[in-house]
Structure 1
C-alpha cells in the first residue's frame, strides 16, 4: 500500500493495485460521520463496438446496453441487492454515463460489510432470459419518461445536432426499440469484457482506517478467481469536425421555448492534462462572460432574451467534447443568434491580468469547497483517473493558468462549423 501525500491540501490517499488488477484508493476522513464507496468500471454508453474477450472479430451491441447491465447487476437469482444495503443501514445507487458505470453506497455504520457487499454483488453477475425480458419493460418506461422531459430532450437534442456518427449522440439508456434486441448473452459478453478488475477502480472515502480497509479489500479479492487481464479493443466511428445539423428544432407541450447553442469541441489527440486545462479554461471563461455577473449575461437579460434558467456546461473526454449554453426564452431565434455572435466575439476579447487573477481565485474557491464533499472527491477522482490525471493535482494546474493561456484558448476555441442550434418549441394548434 502506497501513501500519496498532498501537502498543499493536507490530504493523504492510500493506493494499491490488487493482484487481479483492481486499483483501490482510500481517503481517510475520521472527522466525517459518513463513509462513501464507489466501484467504477471504465465502460459507458459510447462503448458499443468492441472485440469481446476470446474473440477475433469486433461486435456492435444494442444501444443502451451499458445502462441495462447496470440495472441487472442489482438483481440476483434470489434477491434484490438494494435490500442487502438497506439491511446494513446504507443508501445505495448506481449510474451510467457516456464513459463510466458506477455503483455506490453511503453509510454511517457497518462499513466493512457494505464494502464487501459492494464488491461482491458487482463481481457476481446473474442474468436470466426471463429477468432480461422483464427489465425491458421497466427501462422502456424510464426512456419514455425522459422523452417527455423538455430539459432532457433539449440537452440530448443539442448533442445529436453536434454529432454525425459518434455514439455520444445516442441517449445513454438507448431507445425503446434498441433495448428490445438485448439478450442475456449480450449482457454476459459486455460484462466479461469490461468488468474485469483491471478495468475498474474502487474508491472509499470517510471514517475508515486505511490499513484495515485495504486488508479487507485484498482478502476479498484474493478469495475470487478471475481470468487473466484482457486487452480491451474498442472502436469508434470516424467523426467530422463539422456539426451534423446547424439548426434543428422539435415541438413539445411547453409554454416557453427552450433554446440551446452547442459547440463541438475538438479533443482529438489531447492528453489528459490538456483536456483538464481546456475544461478549466472554458469553464472560467464561460463563467466570466455568461454567469449572472457576466457582461454577456447582463446584455442578454436586458434584451429580454433569457431568464434565470440560462445555464452553460462543458464536458470534455478523450473521445468527445461539447459545450452547451441556453435555457428558456420567449425569443428563441433572437437569443440563439445573439449567443452565437457573442461566442464569436470572444476571439476579440482580452481578459486583463487583474480580472483573470480574480477568475482563478473564484475557481480555486469553488474547487476547495467541493473537496468538502466525499461524493465529489470519489466521483471526480475516479473520472480524472481514467484520463490519467490526479484530482488532488488539479489545484496546482488552476494556479498555473495565466491570462495569456486564456487569450490563446479564445483564439482557437470557437469555429462557425462547430456551432449548432437546437430548440424545443411550443406546439401550436395549427
Structure 2
C-alpha cells in the first residue's frame, strides 16, 4: 500500500492498484463521525460509440443508456439494494455525469459492511427483459419532469446551442424515444465493457483504519473472478470550433424570462500539465467578475436586469468544455449584451496586483473549506483522477499561478464564434 502525505493540508492518502486493475484510495479522517464511500466507473453519457469487449467493430448504443444502467444496478432479482444500505444505517445514492457514473454511501456505523455492500452490488448486475421495460416508464417520467423545468431546459438548451456533433449535447438521461430502444443485451454490453475494475476507482474517506479497510477491499476483490484487463476503444465525433446555434429561444409557461450566455471552451491545447491550472484560472476569473460579491453583479442587480438566480458554472473535460453565465431577467436581450460585453472586455484586461492577489486568496480559502466535506473530497478526487490530476495538488497549483498567466488566459479565452445565447421566454398562449 502506497502512502502519500500532503503537508500543506495535513492529509495522508493511502492507495493501491489491485491485481484486477481497480484503483483504491483511502483518506482516513478520524475527527469525522461520518464515512463516505464512492465507487466510480469512467463511463458517462457521452460514451455512446465504442467497441464492445471481445469485438473489433464499434457500436452506437441508445442515448441515455449510462443513466439507465445506473438505475438498473440497484435492482436485483430478489431485492432492491437501497434496502440493504438502509438496514445498515447508511444513506446510498448514485449519479451519472457526462463522463462517469458513481455509486456512493455515507454512514456513521457498520462501515465495513457498507463498503462490502457497495462493492458487491455494483459488481453483480442483474437485468431482465421485464425489469428493463418497467424501468423505461419510470425514466420516461423523470425525463418529462426535467423537460417541464425551465432552468433545466435553459441549461441543456445552451449546451445544445454550443455543440454541433459532440454527444455532450444529448441529455444525460436521453429522450423518451431513445430509451425505448434500450434492451437487456445493450445493458450487459455496456456493463461488461465499462464496469471492469481496471476502468473503475474506489475511494473511501472518513473515520476508519486504512490498513484493515484496504485488507477488506482486497479480500473482497480477490474472491471474485474478472476477465483479463480490456482495452476500451471509445469514439467521439470531430467537433467544429464554432457553435451550433448562436441564438436560441425556448417558449415555456414561465412568468419571468431566463437568459444564459454559453462559451464553448477550446480544449485542444489542454493536457495533464496545463489542465489543472486552466481549470483553476477559469474558476478564479469567473468567481471574481461574475459572482454575487462582484461589481458586475451589483451593477446588473441595481439596474433590475437580474435577481439572485444569476450564476455561472464551468466544466472542462478531455473532449469538451463549456462555461454558462446568466439567470432570470426581465430583459434577455440587454442581459446577453451586457454579459457578452463583459466577456469581451476581459480579453484585454490588465489585472491589478490587488485584484490578482484577491482572486488567489479567495480560491485558496474556498479550497481549504472544501477539505471539510468528505463528499467533495471523494467525488472531486475521482473526477480529477480520470483526467490524470491529483486533487491534493490544487493548492500548490493555485499558489504557483502568476498574474501574467491569468492575463494570457484571458486574451485567448473569448471568441465571438464560440458564444451562444439561450433564452426561455413566456409562451404566448
Q: TM-score, normalised by structure 1?
A: 0.99
Tell me if structure 2 keeps the 8 A contact 1:272–1:318.
Answer: no
Q: In the TM superposition, what are the counterparts of 1:10-409 in structure 2 within 5 Å? A: 10-409=10-409
SS in 2 for 1:425: strand
User: For 1:115 and 1:236, how far apart are their aligned partners in 2?
Assistant: 34
CA apart distance, 1:301? 2.1
After TM superposition, give the deviation of residue 377 of structure 1 in Å: 0.3
236-245 vs 347-356, which moves further: 347-356
SS at match of 1:237: coil
| TM-score, scaled to structure 2 | 0.99
Secondary structure in structure 1 of the residue aligned to 2:276: helix
Rounded Cα–Cα distance in structure 1 between residues aligned with 2:118 and 2:324? 35
Q: Compute the displacement of 1:269 (Å).
A: 4.1
**Secondary structure class of the residue paired with 1:259:** strand
1:8-42 CA distance string (max 9 Å, x none)? 11110000011000000001111111100000000
Alpha-carbon distance in 1 for matches of 2:107, 2:302: 47
Tell me the CA shift for residue 293 of structure 1.
2.6
Give the C-alpha shift of residue 299 in structure 1: 2.5
Q: Deviations over 1:309-341 (max 9, x none)?
A: 100011000010000000000011111111111
SS of the equivalent of 2:251 reads strand
Q: Deviations over 1:127-155 (max 9, x none)?
A: 00000000000000000000000001100
Deviations 1:89-112 (A, max 9, x none): 100000000000000001111111
Distance 1:24 1:337 in 2: 48
Deviations 1:209-248 (A, max 9, x none): 0000000000000000000000000000110010000001
Secondary structure in structure 2 of the residue aligned to 1:272: coil
Q: What is the DSSP-based 3-state SS (H/G/I as helix, E as strand, rest coil) of the residue aligned with 1:338?
A: helix
Separation in 2, partners of 1:216, 1:135 = 34
What is the alpha-carbon distance in structure 2 between the residues aligned to residue 3 and residue 183 of structure 1? Answer: 44
Q: 1:417: how far off?
A: 0.2
Superposed displacement of residue 273, structure 1: 3.8
- Give how far 1:279 is off: 1.6
Flag as ranges the 4+ runs of structure 1 deviating above 3 A.
none
Contact 1:256 1:330 in 2 (8 A): yes
Is the CA contact (8 Å cut-off) linking 1:255 and 1:426 kept in structure 2?
yes
- Matches of 2:88 and 2:299, distance apart in 1: 53
User: Pairwise CA RMSD of aligned residues?
Assistant: 0.8
Look up the SS of the partner of 2:274 in the other structure. Answer: helix
Q: Following the alignment from structure 1 to structure 2, what is the Cα–Cα distance between the partners of residues 300 and 164?
A: 31
Structure 1 residue 297, shift from structure 2 partner? 1.8
Deviating more after overlay: 298-307 vs 33-42: 298-307
| Residues in 2 aligned to 1:366 and 1:306: alpha-carbon distance in whole angstroms | 25
Provide the rounded CA distance (Å) in 2 between the counterparts of 1:97 and 1:121: 20
1:51-97 alpha-carbon deviations (Å, 9 max, x no partner)? 00000100000000000000000000000000000011100000000
Q: Which shows bigger deviation, 397-406 or 345-354?
A: 345-354
Matched pairs, number: 429
| Range moving further from structure 2, 37-46 or 284-293 | 284-293
In the alignment, the residues of structure 1 paired with residue 182 and residue 56 of structure 2 have an alpha-carbon distance, to the nearest angstrom, of 21
CA distance in 1, matches of 2:112, 2:370: 26
Moved more, 352-361 or 40-49: 352-361
**What is the alpha-carbon distance in structure 1 between the residues aligned to residue 155 and residue 420 of structure 2?**
12
Contact between 1:17 and 1:24, CA under 8 Å: does it hold in 2?
yes
* Cα distance per residue 1:280-300 (max 9 Å; x no partner): 111111111111232222232
